[in-house]
Amino acid sequence: MKKNRNVGIVGVGQSVYSSHREEVNQPEMIHEAVVEALEMAGITMAEVDCVVHGNMELFEMVHQPDLWHTLGTGAWGKESLRVTTGGTTGATLAAAADHLVASGLHDVVLAIGFEKLQEGHTTGGITNMADPLWGRQLQTGALTGMTAAQMIEEFGAERAKAAAMAYRILMDANAMKNPKAHRRLGLRPDQAEELAANSPALVGELRMIHMCSQSDGACAMIFASEEKARQLCAQPAWIEDHVTAHREEMFCLFGNAPVLTTHRHCARKLFARNGIRDPRREIDLFEMYDPSAWWGLDWLREFLLLEGDEHLRMVESGAIAMDGDFPVNPSGGVIASNPIGATAMVRVAEAALQIMGRAGGHQLPRPVRRALASGFGGTMWTVLFLLASDTERQAAA
Amino acid sequence: MARRVGICAVAQTTWERDKWSQRFQGMALEVLEDLLARTGLTFSEDGGIGMSISVSDDIFDARTISDNAMTDVLGAHMGCEEKVAQEGLQALYYGLAAIRSGHVDVVLVLGHCKESQPASRNQVTHMAFDPFYTRPVGLDFTAAAGLQAQAYAARAGVGDRHLAQVVVRARQLATRNLKITGLPVVTAAEVLASPLLADPLRELHAYPVSDGAVGLILAAEERAREITDRPVWIAGVGNCMDSFFLGDRDLASNFPLRQAAARAYRRAGIDHPQNAFDVVELSDQYAYQQPMWMEGLGLVPAGGGGAWIDAGGPEAARVNLSGGMLAGNPLILGGLVRAAEAALQLRGEAGDHQVPGARRALAHGVMGPAGQFHTVAVLERD
């Protein structure tokens, strides 16, 4: 399908992510991210046509929170849209902003994802999504030990556990370079065994150290039409494509029936549509929504369409580190910071910052021409984004 | 120039006080099956429905990610599904953007709500107020509407008698709308004697609690013409957000609605809205809003609401022949049902309340305390 017009990302703003942002209320926290994004784009609210907003209402128990948040988003007098899809919300907001600009309805759109998880009960809130009759008694929020169990069965306990911990420690090394990250623990590779033994178990072999944080924070992004983006930004991050796939609430009803993940489905579709044959060679960076070290490890195989133990070897060899062949989550990822309504947007935003060369302390040492970013939510839902630099677009043309 | 987008089919359940025998998934399925039967579409990226936009509300549904429970109905097995968590007319705005962008050709819009589930709607809308300053004083959308009604009534010469007329007419029109069930007609005397909710709002001035679901199929022009011989074009949509604190606003100014309307008219190429519409469907959650929103839309002179009702304006301007929100649609679906009713008029499918030969219609939706956020859509047929 032909896109009506090109859309570039020209500004990114993020609040500091933390377990407790008690010194600010929700609009004030959002305002921090909005101001930073406007400053990066070099514009004021006067130049923004439309504000897109999203989060998960039951976490903070505020009905239609965009109404109150107008005080911090700057939406007064503007057009506005509110879209939510659970954990994928942030990436869905980026997709919505892309549509609003590409459609020609707007030249400049500001998108905002936020969550203040401190003000609610995260696991209780997530558990409430399950069917009250059939699923709720079984649901443990987003905490699941299934992937750990499957990986241990497939690769043996010793290797699987070591790879999950190696992934966790690599992500923390990245988070240490990102001053906005919530959990910056300074983990060392020689602590792996001690952590595996002493971190409290949550569900099976999913331990506290493997799991993402519950964070307060907001992320804002500014999307502009090609003409406007070129005026505002020396190197915009262009939106090449995005694919969304959801699936039904109940699955795996038939024992070990093979399940095609939405991650693999989206990756196949995105790569086919964009002529990508070897993603690890043709893409420079992946910002992945990795809610736990086990999921991050397992999902590498799905997103990169790998077979066998190739994904484990990528972690064991350090290929996913910042100086490796295929860097994953230079920001530290979701394990480091997880303000849920913003989390998936942060993936797209961080990928964009790398292309724009504005990632600061965690900027990759080599130019990023093409980047992948994923969102995850609901019952295994995926949004997968492909971003590109001018260099990449010129080469493709 | 981006491509045109058409509404190809419309379906809705009946609107009832309490659909106790149906879960919300069941109501939505009824609408989906109706839409698929009308269009012959399936869920498929190869010419079928390529994207579903649901409209629901986590707090009304008491479900985190309320669309999560709907994925089967929304055809979201490995498909694109997204939820507009705002007033439903915004789903039309979003679907328009997604199709015009070139990303998708055919979109399903499907909204549901069971207002009968919470103990009261006020309990839900109370949660829209910030927890520090306005929630502690007990505000909800009804109380906010009362404040706005006071400010407006004084400015526009709208009295209790006018409001009774609006309600009596809406209830009468509702008897001609087969989708409205169980809503008795009332007399002016009954309305005038009805208990006060928030002075000057009376119980009978308020939209009745209702359960139901509504859906539309949107498609790019070329596909729309294949799907139906009577596509209804989305000529223009506009919206606008006002400030949050009621004290920061002139509640009778109609600022956000005037902005939203101006944007929709500009996109639709309408310079003189006064005589532009054969049908107007607006979201009158409370009786005073029918004249007030007409002023905001620029279809009645500012401050002229009372005189407009006295002169038989609602009938002459063909406002809410479906009965409007006063005949009962859920808060979050008001504008989407208005768009559905407007599209039925333009397709010549409005039954007993059909306006012969209607060519252009306006649909309006509103959300937030005292109309903080408005959406206006202009629909046309060939």
> What would the mean pLDDT of A227-240 be, rounded to a whole number?
97
Distance CA A27, CA B275 (A): 42
Confidence of residue A172 (pLDDT cuts 50, 70, 90): very high
CA distance B192 to chain A (A): 32
What's the complex ipTM? 0.97
* A263-272, B45-54, B168-177: least confidently modelled range: B45-54
User: Nearest Cα to A4, choosing from A230, A207, A188, A239?
Assistant: A239
B25 within some domain: yes
Q: Give the pLDDT confidence score for residue A221 in this predicted structure.
A: 98
Is residue A209 domain-resident? no
pLDDT given at position A252: 62
| Exposure letters B71-104 (e unless 16+ CB within 10 A, then b) | bbbbbbebbbbbbbbbbbbbbbbbbbbbbbbbbb
Cβ-defined contact of A247 to B76 (cutoff 8 Å): yes
Contact call for A86 and B77, based on CB within 8 A: no
Asked if pLDDT for residue A49 goes beyond 90, the answer is: yes
- pLDDT tens for A286-314 read 999 999 999 999 999 999 999 999 999 99
Distance CA B291, CA B272 (A): 19
Say if residue A15's pLDDT is above 90: yes
The answer as to whether A38 is a domain residue is: yes
**One-letter amino acid of A104:** G
Query: Residue A139 — very low, low, confident or very high, per pLDDT cuts 50/70/90?
Result: confident
Asked if the model's pLDDT at residue B2 lies above 90, the reply is no
Nearest neighbour of A4 by CB, restricted to B100, B131, B244: B100
User: Taking CB atoms and an 8 Å cutoff, what residues of chain A touch B238?
Assistant: 79
pLDDT number for residue B286? 98
Q: pLDDT value at position A393?
A: 87
B206 Rama sector, left if φ>0, alpha if ψ -120 to 50, beta otherwise: beta
In a domain, B31, yes or no: yes
The shortest C-alpha distance from A251 to chain B (Å) reads: 11
Distance CA A222, CA A389 (A): 16
To the nearest whole angstrom, how far is the Cα of A66 from the nearest Cα of chain B? 9
More confident residue, B99 or A391: B99
User: Which pLDDT band holds residue A198 (cuts at 50, 70, 90)?
Assistant: very high
Residue B1, pLDDT > 80, answer: no
Contacts of A95 in chain B (CB under 8 A): 82
Does residue B166 surpass a pLDDT of 90? yes
Residue B76 maps to a domain: yes
Query: Does residue A365 sit within a domain?
Result: no
Average pLDDT over residues A338-353: 98
Whether the pLDDT of residue A137 is over 90: the answer is no
Q: Residue A32: inside a domain, yes or no?
A: yes
Nearest alpha-carbon partner for B52 in B220, B215, B213, B211: B215
Q: Which domain holds residue B49?
A: 5-118+210-227
- Is residue B284 included in any domain, yes or no? no
Q: Which residue among B72, B255, B367 sits closest to A248, beta carbon to beta carbon?
A: B72
DSSP string, A278-294: -HHHH--EEE---SBHH
Domain tally, chain A? 1
Q: Give per-residue pLDDT as tens, A322-341.
A: 999 999 999 999 999 999 99
How many separate domains does chain B show?
1
Mean of pLDDT values over B268-293: 98
CATH number of the CATH domain containing B72 = 3.40.47.10
Are the beta carbons of A63 and B241 separated by less than 8 Å? no
The pLDDT, as a whole number, for residue B115 is 97
Indicate if the pLDDT at residue B173 is higher than 70: yes
How far is B164 from chain A, CA to nearest CA, in Å?
A: 31
Angstroms from B253 CA to nearest CA on chain A? 13
Q: What is the pLDDT of residue A253?
A: 60
User: Out of A54, A103, A247, whose CB is closest to B71?
Assistant: A247
Q: Is residue B114 part of a domain?
A: yes
B240 contacts in A (CB within 8 Å)? 77-80
pLDDT, greater one: A34 or A379: A34
pLDDT of residue A124: 85
Residue of A nearest to B376 (CA): A79
Is residue B214 assigned to a domain?
yes
Residue A378 in domain: no
- Closest residue to B241, CB basis, from A25, A58, A76: A76
The model's pLDDT over B59-83, given as tens digits with 9 standing for 90+, comes to 999 999 999 888 889 988 899 999 9
Nearest CA in chain B to A379: B68
Decide if B72 and A249 are in contact by the 8 Å CB cutoff.
Answer: yes
Sorting pLDDT into bands at 50, 70 and 90, what band is A257?
low
pLDDT at residue A32 in the model: 98
Looking at per-residue pLDDT, the higher value among A187 and A124 belongs to A187
pTM of the model: 0.97
Mean pLDDT of chain A: 95
Count helices and strands in chain A by DSSP H and E runs: 16, 11
| Inter-chain touch B63–A86, beta carbons under 8 Å | no
Domain that holds residue A71: 7-123+214-223
What does DSSP assign to residue A85?
Answer: B
Give the total residue count for chain B.
382
Which of A62, A76, A244 is closest, CB to CB, to B82?
A: A244
